[in-house]
Amino acid sequence: MAKRKLNRRQQWRIKKIQDEKAERAKRRESQAEQAMDSGALGSEQTGLIIAHYGQQIDVQACDDQGSALTDSPLHRCHVRANIDALVTGDRVVWRAGDDQSGVIEARLDRSSLLQRPDNFGQLKPVAANIDRIVVVVAVEPEPHANLIDRYLVAAETLDIQPTLLLNKADLINDDNRAELETMLDTYRELGYEVLLTTARHTTDDNSPLLEWLSHHTSVFVGQSGVGKSSLIRSILGDDSIRVGELSENTRKGTHTTTTARLFHLPAGGQLVDSPGIREFGLWHISDAELLEGFIEFRPFIGHCRFRDCQHEAEPGCAIREAFESGQVSAQRMHSYERIRSTLDDKETY
Ligand code: GDP
Ligand code: ZN
């Protein structure tokens, strides 16, 4: 879209609005600092970031073990200027103020960081301390191995354990069963967990999934149409609707739908979700990341005869030899080749 030239009056108005915003932000900061100085804040404690709205962050108190006190109220906190980017799922040191306010003083170490590219292709942090990336596939649309592998590689690149979830299991029939099982077996043999479910069932019937989720802090990712929204709705139950409504009304002007939010699940565990997270995975990766992302290739990497081996048809290629001796499956080898041939295209699928 061509940029419209602003006239002087418009420019003046925009500057005025920006100045006012800056002034307000400064005032808020100094109020928070004053509260800090006047001792109006509680003592330092551990907290969990539930959501992040621009300058403001919702924090929930944690117990001594660092687990969130799931019934305790959220505090809308300001951040000390000297802390680098905080994201949903971060654990922090904070002090509660009046009226469910607070100040974040420090960020604790992260066990993982989920990132995805912004509009300029730069990787940006979106959530911390995620321990499972649930790659959702479905009986329909038909799952393609190379797309699944693309997600797995992205997860492996971030060093977050991926798990495969086949949704719409109600659509499995005698025509598609064998093919699906063969494909899923490939992943089971690689050591990936594979779960089957259907969002059509009640939460009770979903309980093996809820049980599994209760042990983790997870995100759901995957192609559109596989049933991520349906699953998340059924997992969160009515709570998610209530939370959603609440945030729409009380947070006018903030883009709640694009913000990663942490949900405590009824049966335990946490789910972090945002539209951005659901689209995770299909960014530009390097040849080296692709190779490493195929976990069964790892023992062979660096053993090719030529240092600059392209793993195509070179003599002494350790990856090819692994494939020929049956240590790498045909499905995965083809998938690797297919993804590799698309790496130069900036666009992905
Ligand atoms: P998303 O794009 O991944 O969020 O997918 P949606 O949740 O929007 O679901 C896409 C379509 O699949 C919708 O029409 C759902 O009703 C349907 N769907 C979701 N889960 C299931 C399921 O377990 N079984 C069947 N048969 N349909 C499902
Ligand atoms: Zn090679």
Take atom 27 of ligand 1 and give the residue whose Cα is closest. 168
Mean pLDDT, the chain, as a whole number? 86
pLDDT of 348 over the 60 cut: no
Phi, psi at 83, each rounded to 5°: -100, 135
pLDDT of 243 over the 60 cut: no
Share of the chain above pLDDT 70, in %: 85
**Nearest bound ligand to the CA of residue 302:** 2
Q: Which of 115-119, 168-172, 188-192, 221-225 has the lowest mean pLDDT?
A: 115-119
pLDDT of 300 over the 90 cut: yes
- Identify residue 36 by its one-letter amino acid code: M
Ligand 1 atom at shortest distance from the alpha carbon of 233: 7
231 C-alpha to ligand 1 centroid (Å): 8
Q: pLDDT class for 255, splitting at 50, 70, 90?
A: very low
Q: pLDDT class for 251, splitting at 50, 70, 90?
A: very low
Whether the Cβ atoms of residue 158 and residue 120 lie closer than 8 Å to each other: no
Take atom 25 of ligand 1 and give the residue whose Cα is closest. 168
Q: pLDDT class for 7, splitting at 50, 70, 90?
A: confident
Take atom 22 of ligand 1 and give the residue whose Cα is closest. 168
pLDDT at 266: 85
Pocket of ligand 1 (CB under 6 A): 167-168, 170-171, 198-200, 224-230
202 C-alpha to ligand 1 centroid (Å): 14
pLDDT at 249: 40
347 C-alpha to ligand 2 centroid (Å): 26
**Nearest bound ligand to the CA of residue 319:** 2
Distance separating alpha carbons of residues 263 and 281, to the nearest angstrom: 21
330 C-alpha to ligand 1 centroid (Å): 30
* DSSP secondary structure string for all residues of 306-346: STT--SSS-TT-HHHHHHHTTSS-HHHHHHHHHHHHHTTSS
Tens of pLDDT, residue by residue over 99-111, are 899 999 999 999 9
Token pair for residue 280? 């995770």
- Identify residue 98 by its one-letter amino acid code: D
Take atom 26 of ligand 1 and give the residue whose Cα is closest. 168
Strand segments (E) across 172-329: 194-196, 217-221, 261-264, 270-273
Ligand 1 atom at shortest distance from the alpha carbon of 198: 23
Q: Which is nearest to 262 in space by CA: 281, 277, 245?
A: 277
**Nearest bound ligand to the CA of residue 228:** 1
Tens of pLDDT, residue by residue over 43-99, are 999 999 999 887 789 999 999 888 999 989 999 999 987 787 899 999 999 999 988
User: Which residue out of 140, 142, 165, 230 has the highest number of ligand 1 atoms within 8 Å of its CB and is therefore the one to mutate?
Assistant: 230
Distance separating alpha carbons of residues 349 and 344, to the nearest angstrom: 12
pLDDT of 314 over the 60 cut: yes
67 C-alpha to ligand 2 centroid (Å): 46
Strand segments (E) across 148-201: 162-167, 194-196
Between 3 and 271, residue with greater pLDDT: 271
Q: Which is nearest to 279 in space by CA: 210, 214, 221?
A: 221
pLDDT of 180 over the 50 cut: yes
